[in-house]
Amino acid sequence: MINFASDNVTGASPEVLQAVIDANSAPPRMPYGNDASTGDVEARLSEVFETEVKAFLVATGTAANVLALGSLAPPWGAIYCHEHAHIQTSECGAPEFFTGGAKLVPLSGADSKLTPDGLHAAIDRSGSVHHVEPAVLSLTQATEGGTVYSPQEVRALAEVASEAGLKVHMDGARFANAVAALGCSPAELTWKAGVDVLSFGGTKNGCLGAEAIVFFRPELAANAARQRKRGGHLLSKMRLLTAQFEGYLAEGAWLRRAAHANAMAQRLAAGLKEVDRVDLLFPVESNLLFPRFPKGVAQRLNEAGFLFYPENLDGASRLVTAWSTTEEEVDRFIAAVKAMTENS
Amino acid sequence: MINFASDNVTGASPEVLQAVIDANSAPPRMPYGNDASTGDVEARLSEVFETEVKAFLVATGTAANVLALGSLAPPWGAIYCHEHAHIQTSECGAPEFFTGGAKLVPLSGADSKLTPDGLHAAIDRSGSVHHVEPAVLSLTQATEGGTVYSPQEVRALAEVASEAGLKVHMDGARFANAVAALGCSPAELTWKAGVDVLSFGGTKNGCLGAEAIVFFRPELAANAARQRKRGGHLLSKMRLLTAQFEGYLAEGAWLRRAAHANAMAQRLAAGLKEVDRVDLLFPVESNLLFPRFPKGVAQRLNEAGFLFYPENLDGASRLVTAWSTTEEEVDRFIAAVKAMTENS
Amino acid sequence: MINFASDNVTGASPEVLQAVIDANSAPPRMPYGNDASTGDVEARLSEVFETEVKAFLVATGTAANVLALGSLAPPWGAIYCHEHAHIQTSECGAPEFFTGGAKLVPLSGADSKLTPDGLHAAIDRSGSVHHVEPAVLSLTQATEGGTVYSPQEVRALAEVASEAGLKVHMDGARFANAVAALGCSPAELTWKAGVDVLSFGGTKNGCLGAEAIVFFRPELAANAARQRKRGGHLLSKMRLLTAQFEGYLAEGAWLRRAAHANAMAQRLAAGLKEVDRVDLLFPVESNLLFPRFPKGVAQRLNEAGFLFYPENLDGASRLVTAWSTTEEEVDRFIAAVKAMTENS
Amino acid sequence: MINFASDNVTGASPEVLQAVIDANSAPPRMPYGNDASTGDVEARLSEVFETEVKAFLVATGTAANVLALGSLAPPWGAIYCHEHAHIQTSECGAPEFFTGGAKLVPLSGADSKLTPDGLHAAIDRSGSVHHVEPAVLSLTQATEGGTVYSPQEVRALAEVASEAGLKVHMDGARFANAVAALGCSPAELTWKAGVDVLSFGGTKNGCLGAEAIVFFRPELAANAARQRKRGGHLLSKMRLLTAQFEGYLAEGAWLRRAAHANAMAQRLAAGLKEVDRVDLLFPVESNLLFPRFPKGVAQRLNEAGFLFYPENLDGASRLVTAWSTTEEEVDRFIAAVKAMTENS
């Protein structure tokens, strides 16, 4: 069985698992992050982002997103996002819950990407008490369609947001894949381009379950510690969560693993492009692909042990490569597609 | 340094860590609990409790408590609990958050325990729309004072609750310690005594971060899956959380580890009882002790490298033993107390 | 100055004001609705709707809508409505607040009306915990565009909703205008067509500030009394609110006043249709009109003392007639439009 | 029948009703407070309080209280109040709802009054993320026991609050009675003594249903307009609510009516003090009395047509006088008490 259903079907990468094992064998440590290592991770993230950040670790990507949004949007706020955004489609209303009822405003845009013009047109400037108050722009990087925003594109969106008084949140569940794809620095893609808060994903790219909420403007984090606790997201054995991020960041593992996943996606895309009657819904820029197969083929591939979500978006299937995907897996999949489409 | 600050200062026990390592090395699995193991844990918990249960795993005790309460109490409900209850004192309003604003009604009672008479007197029977609606009894087992409710005591409280239409929640962050102390079955201490939902703790007793919300009446769990997701508490790599509980429950590890922690608490209590001018605030029935030291002694013990919370409750210090506490640690602590009190 | 800005720019109608004056002069009465008259109104509404209803009076239309929705949708629910719906556009997130964070799903549809096909296509049938749960259909009658649903149209929508397990809410801020326009019975337009809860508006049609939440299925009202109190919407001098509805319902005043407003809208529409270069955005079926004036005309009409919202929807202005609108006001407006368009 | 059950059993006073009638007969006005009169009321309140205030009118006392608290307390905040406080006992959790889940901390204190020492001892200064954050002091003036805080007492409490970073809210459902009783200025009793926000009651003292939320620090009102709308508390025909406050404040009616109610309470108290075996639970300082009658007497008085709540607090009955209470009513009640206690 070869599993392209998601990058969270994998386990933890060796370096992350080893860091947890090492931390676990250390003597007792004070709980809830009152240990030296947890402070160290914040310092380490400040190095990675070339600026002093406030960082809060949690175990799930939804928690990271919604605690970030809860720090930015009041209950009577509007959060502008793409209609494909994970926070809009796949978090069961968690953003509404953690903001106390803010309203998500889904916008369309090609390739799962927001446009400055689309955002500008959508922002309510009436100031009316009958309308929710424009509060946040949330963009996903890499996007749910597997595309990426360039630093210039992020900046252009952030400028529209900033002019209207919005804060800017980046859902970076696959931030590593975006950085690896673009070859820019983490700083260029975030605070230098106008991002206020980043959900920095670890889970999909090698952690057991670890995400960092990274605040580039410390004043926005004033209530984040209490909001995390109140959300039930402050782990008592925090140092085991911390250890994951230590292992993830050490020696550039996070970027190396993401680059591999991206490369496997490119290999997959290259193979699929050679197949007649298969096309790709979006440009392949990170580790997600949305191929459209001839009728019946997706189902037969599933039945043959190639796992992925068929009919995921506009008639296209979704395939995801991961840090653990091998060239052999990719090649076997391509071969299967070729065989099936020739016979379909 | 010897750490009695809490049972969550420890790492994971070997059997739990090994289970995680094993699960991590398995091939990719579908995320969000859509793997075979996660279903197995529910079956395993049904065996442990001798009845068919619905179970939901989460990474923190606060999450377990508040998702349980969120399944039982409406926003306009009252939750009756002891004034020492963790949900009242130490969860930063998480119960209010997850219930949409229910009101906790703190009650007094000796030895950190609720009494049937106290509960009966507190329940509002007016039916008035001006008052919140009585909804839940939440009791902690073992209690925050380290005492335990016998099955008969649980039943007596649950009967008062049930007569008034309340549901019964048990915060079992140290449920294992209570079961080990009482020598009864998990079933006798829960559903057979009238408990509807249990927060079954794993973290303090050997897990990395794993708790089970165990529903004894499946109909109460109707919305639990969505509430968990909406709270950001559905882990994508769920099987690594599942593995913790598998290792925890296998071959009675959970009870054996708890019994050891309890035994270390008894050894500590026995040693302290021999020391003049030291007395204990509550009976020592699980793995928590609340000694009152002569003035200045607690601080000097802290300074000498014995970590615990001084002046925690009514002038008493709080000490907690764990699965990893050794006899030698206990004995060294007793010796230090003796030396210091003789000289104070 | 002639005011077509809304039907809430008027005061109370004479019969409603007199009912309040009479109630006020009566001896003291127990507060919070524990007076005989308030029970009488429920009985009176049961007569009007030809079925036994549970009714709750409040002072604002937003309160009526959101308390109704709060009785129907869980925090993790989806509420399907038209993209023009008042609950979506003009209540500052009140529905999200009173439901604890439910998600409104705005749908398009010609003439401000939902279609059975559009609703059918929008309902999420995945059952996925990642998605909010389909919970409610909310339709506005008369619509925000001034059109009305026939009983058959309501039934067709309610059938799609019901098959998917949705409850049906009708925002009847202008319910009287719809009944008067259609000439059907209140029952035919609500419970007989599948509506579960109606926000029955009084304010726009002659009350000082009074709306009734009318439950056609009493079991849905189980928590409505506490939700109203908790929302701050239980008036202590309830009988003065009750008196408004007594005056409103007595001798068919509510329908007579609405019929007059509708007639004034027809007169206005007839006059505007005679003017070149003015067209109407929607069919005029109740007391709202959306004329498109030649460039600059709307502003000049405003400046000349004719108040209404220009550029309200798709380039059209919004005009609303009321119980107090006179033929003379209509005729003066038509004359002014004619004069200005001839010269523009 | 003579009704002492509450001061909200009465209707509106003549001057308030006339103001509504007058406003209603005026030409159409823009809705939602966008009329000149509503701005005038804010100016008028600024005169009454001798400082520039921001004011928001609502129809219920619960709405005034909870919108005020919602402006002052975050969801993770603590609100300190007396255990008798209306917000704690009688609003069905509305404060929790409007604050997003803040925790009310009820404190004891003689005569229904908080003490500076009691408040000081209760405030959590740990700064711990496990605890809710101290946010607000709410005191009731006149209290639920009918007693009043002197300006010096308010100031002493506000100083303790302010030192700990708390905001100060005053529930002034019977503020007029307190001002009339103390003979001080409204300013001395509020902002000059450290109060940040006042719920200024009108309903109990002559309005149909009107309360003002008065902000003495405008920056605290930044979101109040949206919160009022979102709570469903922005009336469309706002000018009819405004008119009530105009009538209430004109020519000192509010103080004259309250002074009368207070005088009736003094007359009642004087009469009851002459009766053997009847004593009063609290000093009578405003318009509430808590007499303890001999066994059976309260019930017989009720049966004889004297309405009040027996067994309301600590075995005492509650009687309330109002703007409309007459000397004859008081005297008839006293006579009845005398007759019944002689024969009991």
Residues sharing a CB contact under 8 Å with residue D168, sequence separation 6 or more, in sequence order = D136, D137, D138, D139, D157, D158, D161, D162, D194, D195, D196, D197
Determine which of D226, D227, D229, D238 to mutate to test the interface with A (most A C-beta atoms within 10 Å).
D226
Reported pTM: 0.97
Cα of B78 to nearest chain D Cα, Å: 9
Tens digit of each residue's pLDDT (9 = 90 or more) over A120-148: 999 999 999 999 999 999 999 999 999 99
In this prediction, what percent of chain B has a pLDDT beyond 90? 95
pLDDT above 90 (res B37): no
How many angstroms separate the Cα of B238 from the Cα of each of A2, B39, C112?
19, 11, 45
Tens digit of each residue's pLDDT (9 = 90 or more) over C139-174: 999 999 999 999 999 999 999 999 999 999 999 999
CB proximity C295 to B under 8 Å: no
> First vs last Cα of chain B: how many Å apart?
22
**pLDDT tier at D344 (50, 70, 90 boundaries)?**
low
> First vs last Cα of chain D: how many Å apart?
22
Q: Evaluate whether D2 touches D308 at the Cβ level (below 8 Å).
A: no
Q: Evaluate whether C261 touches C7 at the Cβ level (below 8 Å).
A: yes
Residue in A92, A97, A101 closest to C97 by CB: A101
Q: What is the mean pLDDT of residues C222-239?
A: 97
Touching partners of C (3+ C-beta pairs < 8 Å)? A, B, D
Chain A CB contacts of C89 below 8 Å: 130-131
Q: In whole angstroms, what is the distance from residue D135 CA to residue A63 CA? A: 26
Determine which of B97, B226, B236 to mutate to test the interface with C (most C C-beta atoms within 10 Å).
B226
How many angstroms separate the Cα of D252 from the Cα of each of A212, D182, D214?
60, 16, 18
Closest Cα in chain A to C131 = A92
Residue of B269, B249, B270, B278 lying closest to B320 (CA atoms): B269
What is the per-residue pLDDT for B36?
83
Residue in C74, C230, C234 closest to B223 by CB: C74
Could B129 and C76 be called an inter-chain contact, meaning their C-beta atoms sit closer than 8 Å?
A: no
pLDDT above 70 (res B344): no
Could A223 and D76 be called an inter-chain contact, meaning their C-beta atoms sit closer than 8 Å?
A: yes
**pLDDT tier at B39 (50, 70, 90 boundaries)?**
confident
What is the per-residue pLDDT for B311?
82
Q: DSSP character for A20?
A: H
Tens digit of each residue's pLDDT (9 = 90 or more) over D102-160: 999 999 999 999 999 999 999 999 999 999 999 999 999 999 999 999 999 999 999 99
Average pLDDT, rounded, for chain A: 97
Phi, psi (degrees; rounded to nearest 5) at D339: -60, -40
CB-defined contacts A:C, below 8 A: 52
pLDDT above 70 (res A4): yes
What is the per-residue pLDDT for A191?
98
Structure tokens at C133: 């749960």
What is the per-residue pLDDT for A312?
85
Tens digit of each residue's pLDDT (9 = 90 or more) over C106-139: 999 999 999 999 999 999 999 999 999 999 999 9
Cα of C24 to nearest chain D Cα, Å: 5
Cα of D80 to nearest chain B Cα, Å: 14
**pLDDT tier at A311 (50, 70, 90 boundaries)?**
confident
What count of other Cβ atoms lies within 10 Å of the Cβ of residue B217?
14
Q: Which of residues 230-259 of B touch A (CB under 8 A)?
A: 230-237, 240-241
Of B231-235, C58-62, C250-254, D36-40, which gets the smallest average pLDDT? D36-40
Paired with C291 in beta bridges are C280
CB-defined contacts B:C, below 8 A: 33
Could B209 and A12 be called an inter-chain contact, meaning their C-beta atoms sit closer than 8 Å?
A: no
Q: In whole angstroms, what is the distance from residue D83 CA to residue D108 CA? A: 6
What is the per-residue pLDDT for A313?
87
Could you tell me how far CA D145 lies from the centroid of its own chain?
Answer: 11
Q: Which of residues 72-131 of A touch C (CB under 8 A)?
A: 75-76, 89-93, 96-97, 100-104, 129-131
Chain A CB contacts of D32 below 8 Å: 129-130
pLDDT above 80 (res C225): yes
Touching partners of A (3+ C-beta pairs < 8 Å)? B, C, D
What is the per-residue pLDDT for D233?
98
Structure tokens at A253: 């593992």
pLDDT above 90 (res B342): no
CB proximity B226 to C under 8 Å: yes
Segment (H or E) for D319: strand D316-320
Q: In whole angstroms, what is the distance from residue A41 CA to residue B244 CA? A: 25
What is the per-residue pLDDT for B213?
98
User: Angle CA(B12)–CA(B15)–CA(B18) in degrees, nearest 5?
Assistant: 85
Strand pairing category for B211-215 and B197-201? antiparallel
Tens digit of each residue's pLDDT (9 = 90 or more) over A218-265: 999 999 999 999 999 999 999 999 999 999 999 999 999 999 999 999
What is the per-residue pLDDT for C344?
65
Structure tokens at D178: 């307190």
Q: In whole angstroms, what is the distance from residue C201 CA to residue D312 CA? A: 38
Could A130 and C91 be called an inter-chain contact, meaning their C-beta atoms sit closer than 8 Å?
A: yes
Residue of B57, B64, B34, B26 lying closest to B248 (CA atoms): B57
Classify burial at D312, counting beta carbons within 10 Å of its beta carbon; exposed 0-12, middle 13-18, buried 19 or more: middle
Touching partners of B (3+ C-beta pairs < 8 Å)? A, C, D
**pLDDT tier at B128 (50, 70, 90 boundaries)?**
very high
